Amino acid sequence: MFGNSPTSTIFLKLCLIVLSPIIVHLSKPNHPPRASPFIQSNGQAAPVAVGSTRTFDLGKFKVLVLTPMSERPSEGWPVLLFIHGGGYLLGNAETGISFFSRACVGCAGTPYPAAIDDCWNAFEWLRGTGKEELGLDIRVRGCGRSVVGGTLSAVIAQRASLASPRIPLVLQILIVPGTDMTFTVDDKSKWTPSMLEYQNVWALRALDMLWLRDHYLPNVEDRAKPDASPLLQEDDKAYEGLAPALVIVTEFDILKSEGIMYAEKMRERGVTVTLKEVKGLSHLGLSADHVCEISRAVRAEEIDYLKKAFSK
């Protein structure tokens, strides 16, 4: 079912043992849980060395800033606002960190619109105080990362395009993003093809995804708003000057159709889009770069895309 990649299959078996008993009895946590050390040690590769690590407390949330070991360019560091995943409830900056990130914001556990507000405030902080304190070149900036991080990155990119004056970005990286929050448990006729086909794939089951959505968006009327569901954005100005996008989806993921539909919609509106479907992996597969060569190859492509965008 998950393709013929042996390393992908190993990762799936490891995660199934650890996660299945937890997900079946999922209840709202009293605090944001950290990622399992077992999953980190057997799925994700170890972080690479960085030049510096600094944490800035912005009141309602913290920003974790990583800078490379190399010397700062004379014009300042290019900056990527890295937004971690976790279904709006799980994880933190440390568990979602990536070795090419520059600034990572965590915003788990509070209802809409807290996550998008926190991410936008972090974005604005980078453009202001952060620019001066960190020595950033804010002419070269992007946002991105996976699942909810991809959703929020899409919203940030739209909001930057709608700003007056428009705030230019050089890229948006959307990894297995959810782009439509309006689906319901009772009416499967409106589910996407991938939701229907892969609704019981353990990595992210449809009902678990909707459970997470319900905690972040308890008010039904909020779910169709563009800053919750970027796929439903119809304002032409949101797509004018929208940053080029790298959209990556995985074959056996309930969110695959949403990622593809948003990529196609951006293309129709004139946005430069690179869309990649990774065969043989489920929702969590791209995090398995410690055990899966497919994940490592995709990560390398992602880094290459980032380097090219930052070098223009």
Percentage of residues in the chain having pLDDT higher than 90: 48
Q: Mind listing the pLDDT tens digit for each residue in 143-181?
A: 877 668 899 999 999 999 999 999 999 999 999 999 999
Residue 75 maps to a domain: yes
If one counts every other C-beta atom within 10 angstroms of the C-beta of residue 132, the result is 9
The continuous run of DSSP H or E covering 139 comes out as: strand 136-146
Residue 180 maps to a domain: yes
Number of domains in the chain: 1
pLDDT of residue 140: 65
Give me the DSSP letters along 255-310: THHHHHHHHHHHHHTT--EEEEEEEEEETTGGG-TTT-HHHHHHHHHHHHHHHHHH
Residue 92 maps to a domain: yes
Residue 1 tokens, joined: 């079912």
Give me the DSSP letters along 5-73: -HHHHHHHHHHHHHHHHHHHT----SS-PPPPHHHHHHTSPPPPP-SEEEEEE-SSSEEEEEE-SSPPP
The residues annotated as belonging to the active site are 146, 253, 283
pTM to 2 decimal places: 0.82
Residue 157 maps to a domain: yes
Residue 1 maps to a domain: no
Residue 25 maps to a domain: yes
pLDDT of residue 20: 42
Residue 54 maps to a domain: yes
Domain encompassing residue 86: 6-311
Residue 84 maps to a domain: yes
What span, in angstroms and rounded, lies between the C-alpha atoms of 54 and 62? 10
User: What is the domain-level CATH number for residue 262?
Assistant: 3.40.50.1820
Sign of CA dihedral 204, 193, 4, 177: negative
Q: Mind listing the pLDDT tens digit for each residue in 223-267?
A: 999 999 999 999 999 999 999 999 999 999 999 999 999 999 999
